Structure 1
Amino acid sequence: MYTIKEAAARSGVSVPVLRAWERRYGIVEPDRTAAGYRLYDDEALERIRTMRRLIDAGWMPSTAASAILVGDPLALATGRAPVAPDVAFDNAARDADLNLIDAFVTAAIRLDAAGLEVVLDRMFGQGSFERVADRVLLPALSNVGEAWADGRLSVAGEHAASHAALRRLAAAYQAAGRQAPRDGAIMVGLPPTVRHELGALAFSTAARRARLPVLYLGPDLPVEDWVESARATLAQAAVIGVVTADDIRPAVEVAVALRATNPDLMIAFGGRSAGRTGEVFNDDPRIVAGSNGGRSEPPVILPEPMMAAVRTLENALAGRARRSDGGPVAAS
């Protein structure tokens, strides 16, 4: 096992870069010492080296991380793509994505409900749900928010665009699989006062497509309802959405209350402010020790790419299951 400094030196990256890859893309999930320090094994080092080789070969970091997380055999073995990246094709695909994003914002500005539906039809015809969410839908919604903030888009236009997207996401969620079982659910939702739910619903859909037992709780959920839901479902994990800096404190309050009820409940934060939320949560003096009397388990920080976030959660759950079955246990 290697410390973070040793792992960085052996894999040829800096410590800040290694931390960023771990937080943003979830390519490794280090064990931790009793004092909370990261420990990396040889498999983790090989993943880090592969990530570095792929990026050096011209891959986008998010694409490289996805190849590693899904276990692309050639990428993992050699650090090379099966075929050299077709830059012209990539640029054309990116241009098509940008055109769809612009068309969605334009339809919102014009309050063109039919136009919004046409653009959404085109978006969802682009490929897998995860690709659509990462490459066009969520960026389009972000641009809608920016257009509203700078005065180009009315509140009515923002609402029309958001609700059109919400209807599509709700349909995709329903089509993604069966309802979560009553016991052992993975709760996904937003803390009190937080209402921007589209990212959380998109993640819930992707996780459900991966056969995870997701229970989507929606936006603006009071702390006491989070706690009661965890008790009623014997939840194994809670994924709390944190998009803006204003969401950090409400998210931490939810996580602290959940851990007070069940010290062993897995806590995960997702969204643009997830990393900072994890730091605030870890520093909170109210965090109780785990059931084994040791240090409370740190939260899982989900990276932003959709499939990377789902894989990170899957890996965290699988690691916990192995430890419960008597596999190698690292202090956490």
Structure 2
Amino acid sequence: MGLSISKVAALCGVSPYTLRAWEKRYRLPKPAREANGYRTYTDDQVGLLRQMARLVHVGVPPRHAADYVLGVRSVLDANAPRELVDRLGSGEWSFEALTAGLQMSLGTVDLAEVADTWLLPMLELVGEEWASGRISIEQEHMLAAAVMGQLSLLWDAAPALRMTTPLVLAGLPSGCQHQIGIYAFATAMRRIGWQVVYLGADLPAENWAQAATRQRARAAIIAVPMLDDVAPAQQLVAALAQARPGLLIGVGGRHQHLVDHPAAIPLGHQFVPAIGQLRALMGISAVASR
């Protein structure tokens, strides 16, 4: 026997009126009706409604929450970057809503693919909107914190490392702080089984060289997201090439083309082809890295 609408409403922390509205507006599964016309809900339906209620409670718009619980689309991934940035600027997305959406959207997809199609375009658009004054520095920082938090969860939840793959270092040169892109790339590699050591932001060249030598790294991946990062990136590439000859040094980020050193290998601006390029350079088969 199913549960009544009043009991389900209590379990979800919403009113019976809200449950009836969700059923009418968002195509949530219709409950069975008893002879007297009263609704009765199955356990599966209650689970969907509780998930819907949790998303709405943290600020996800009901139509997006309904699409997610019904499997129509993920909370954030299916939204164009423009839509998300507009919602961020209007204050519609709270920090909790961003976090909830990121947790359920990015954790179930290929991170490299979603980075190319959504995450990186969205971050670039956020930077443009901040520069033009259409979103505040507080909103930009809120989004950055939500993204970094989710990437950390994905890093920790990555499958067991395949010790047969070469070890890769990833991070930023001395003085460089904008680490979302490089951390996302490192996380994407780790999630397909690569041995990745993330060294973080603002690491001096001598410490990079020590890490590469001590850990016998096969590759080092750095990013040059800002124009001011070009000079320290060039110094880092030179230091790594001298400390560990033969080290594969991949360079990403918006200003990668300005790093002028024979050891620097530009990786382009998309994750999927960059990972493919590294796989080919290091002789890692697609099967071995999954």
The TM-score bracket by the shorter chain reads 0.5 to 0.7
Partner of residue 246, structure 1: 228
Q: Secondary structure at the match of 1:281?
A: coil
Q: How does 1:189-208 map to 2 (within 5 A)?
A: 189-208=171-190
Q: In structure 1, what residue type is equivalent to 2:258?
A: R
Please list every run of 5 or more consecutive structure 2 residues that lacks an aligned counterpart in the other structure. 1-72, 285-290
- Cα deviation for residue 179 of structure 1 reads 5.8
Q: How does 1:52-63 map to 2 (within 5 A)?
A: none
Partner of residue 94, structure 2: 112
String of CA shifts for 1:21-77, please: whole Å, max 9, x gaps.
Answer: xxxxxxxxxxxxxxxxxxxxxxxxxxxxxxxxxxxxxxxxxxxxxxxxxxxxxxxxx
Q: Distance in 1 between matches of 2:229 and 2:278?
A: 21
- Cα deviation for residue 211 of structure 1 reads 2.2
Relative contact order higher in (CA < 8 Å, ≥ 6 apart): 1
Q: Secondary structure at the match of 1:143?
A: helix
- Cα deviation for residue 178 of structure 1 reads 3.7
Q: In structure 1, what residue type is equivalent to 2:261?
A: F
Q: How does 1:295-314 map to 2 (within 5 A)?
A: 298-314=263-279
String of CA shifts for 1:251-297, please: whole Å, max 9, x gaps.
Answer: 110111111212222211112222331xx113xxxxxxxxxxxxxxx
Share of identical aligned residues, percent?
A: 31
Q: TM-score, normalised by structure 1?
A: 0.56
Contact between 2:222 and 2:252, CA under 8 Å: does it hold in 1?
A: yes
Deviates more, 1:304-313 or 1:122-131: 122-131
Q: Does 1:318 align with 2:283?
A: yes
Q: TM-score, normalised by structure 2?
A: 0.64
Please list every run of 5 or more consecutive structure 1 residues that lacks an aligned counterpart in the other structure. 1-91, 283-297, 320-332
Q: Distance in 2 between matches of 1:234 and 1:306?
A: 24
The alignment covers a number of residue pairs equal to: 209
CA RMSD across the alignment: 2.9
1:155 to 128, 137, 147: 137
Q: Does 1:226 align with 2:208?
A: yes
Q: Distance in 1 between matches of 2:233 and 2:162?
A: 23
Q: Distance in 2 between matches of 1:115 and 1:316?
A: 40
2:146 to 134, 158, 164: 164
Q: 1:130 to 1:117 in 2, by over 3 A?
A: same
Q: Compare CA radii of gyration and give the structure with the larger one.
A: 2
Contact between 1:105 and 1:144, CA under 8 Å: does it hold in 2?
A: no
Q: In structure 1, what residue type is equivalent to 2:254?
A: R
Q: Distance in 1 between matches of 2:159 and 2:261?
A: 32
